[in-house]
C-alpha cells in the first residue's frame, strides 16, 4: 500500500476548501475553518468573503491568525466592525456558510459545546456557545468539522448548545429559525457526511482513502444513512498541499496537530 503523503488534518482542510462557490460569504474561527477558507480563497474561490466574529469583514489574510481578534483578521479588510455588526449580518441572512465544531454531535446535527454530564453538576464544562448558536441559527449552511468517534457522534447528547435539525424535518422552522437553514456537511478524519435527505438525518457521503464504511459505522454511536454506493474522498492534490504548507500554514500551527 502506497504511503500517504499527507496527514488527516491536511485532508480535512482540503476537503472543506473545495465546498465553497466563488463569491459566497463564510463566517470562520481559527484552526481548521480558517485554514480551509484561506486555501479556498487562494485556489478555488478568490472572491470569497471571509467574516470573523470579532468584526473583520473580507480581509486578505496574510498568514494564519491565532484568534478571531488577531490583527491578521483585519488585514486589508473591507470593514473593521464589531461583534454586534458581525452577528447582525448573520441575522439579516447575509452569511452563506458558517463553520462549527462540538464535543458531541447527534444524528440531526445538534451540537453540544457546553457540558458533559448534568448541566448543574457536569463532569466536564466547556467554553459554551460563544457565537456558535447565533451563526448556526441564522447562517444558510453550517459546516461541522470534528474528529470522528462514537463518544462524539452520539444521540445521548448532554446539552444542545447549537441547533441542527433538532428533532427532524420542519423542527427548525417550528422553533422559529429561518426556513432553509441548517447543517450542510460534516467533515471528519474518517469521512464526509451530509443531510441531503427528507429525514434531515446524517448520511454518509464519502469515506477518506484507506477508510472503510465499517470504520465509519464503528466510530458512530447512532445509525448513519448509507447509500449502496459510497464514494471515496478525493485526496489532497499537489497544488492544495503546496499552497497549504507554504502559504496558508507554513509554521504548521494547524496542520501539525493531530485530529483528536
Digit-coded pLDDT (tens) for 32-54: 999 999 999 999 999 999 999 88
Domains along the sequence of the chain with CATH: 1-95+234-260 (3.40.1080.10), 98-233 (3.40.1080.10)
pTM value surpassing 0.85: yes
Give the pLDDT score at 260.
61
Q: Which residues are catalytic?
A: 53
Residue 184: band (very low, low, confident or very high) from pLDDT cuts 50, 70, 90: very high
**CA dist., res. 34 & res. 47, Å (int):** 15
Q: What is the pLDDT of residues 144-179, one digit of tens each?
A: 999 999 999 999 999 999 999 999 999 999 999 999
Q: Which of 122, 214, 211, 206 is nearest to 159 (CA)?
A: 122
Alpha-carbon distance 128 to 106, whole Å? Answer: 17
* Beta bridge partner(s), residue 52: 28
Amino acid at each position: 500500500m502506497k504511503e500517504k503523503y499527507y496527514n488527516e488534518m491536511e485532508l480535512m482542510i482540503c476537503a472543506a476548501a473545495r465546498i465553497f462557490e466563488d463569491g459566497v460569504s463564510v463566517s470562520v474561527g481559527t484552526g481548521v475553518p480558517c485554514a480551509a477558507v484561506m486555501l479556498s480563497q487562494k485556489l478555488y474561490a478568490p472572491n470569497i468573503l471571509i467574516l470573523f466574529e470579532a468584526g473583520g469583514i473580507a480581509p486578505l489574510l496574510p498568514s494564519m491568525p491565532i484568534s478571531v481578534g488577531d490583527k491578521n483578521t483585519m488585514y486589508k479588510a473591507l470593514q473593521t466592525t464589531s461583534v454586534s455588526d458581525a452577528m447582525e449580518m448573520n441575522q439579516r441572512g447575509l452569511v452563506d456558510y458558517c463553520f462549527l465544531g462540538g464535543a458531541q454531535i447527534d444524528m440531526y446535527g445538534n451540537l453540544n459545546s457546553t457540558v458533559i454530564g448534568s448541566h448543574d453538576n457536569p463532569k466536564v464544562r466547556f467554553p459554551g456557545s460563544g457565537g456558535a448558536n447565533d451563526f448556526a441559527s441564522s447562517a444558510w449552511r453550517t459546516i461541522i468539522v470534528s474528529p470522528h468517534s462514537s463518544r462524539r457522534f452520539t444521540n445521548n447528547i448532554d446539552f444542545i448548545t447549537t441547533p441542527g435539525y433538532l428533532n427532524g424535518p420542519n423542527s427548525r422552522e417550528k422553533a422559529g429559525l429561518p426556513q432553509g437553514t441548517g447543517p450542510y456537511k460534516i467533515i471528519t478524519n474518517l469521512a464526509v457526511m451530509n443531510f441531503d435527505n427528507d429525514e434531515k438525518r446524517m448520511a454518509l457521503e464519502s469515506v477518506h482513502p484507506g477508510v472503510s464504511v465499517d470504520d465509519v459505522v464503528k466510530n458512530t454511536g447512532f445509525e448513519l444513512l448509507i447509500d449502496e454506493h459510497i464514494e471515496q474522498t478525493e485526496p489532497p492534490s499537489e497544488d492544495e498541499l503546496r499552497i497549504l504548507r507554504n502559504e496558508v500554514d507554513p509554521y504548521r500551527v494547524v496542520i501539525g496537530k493531530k485530529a483528536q
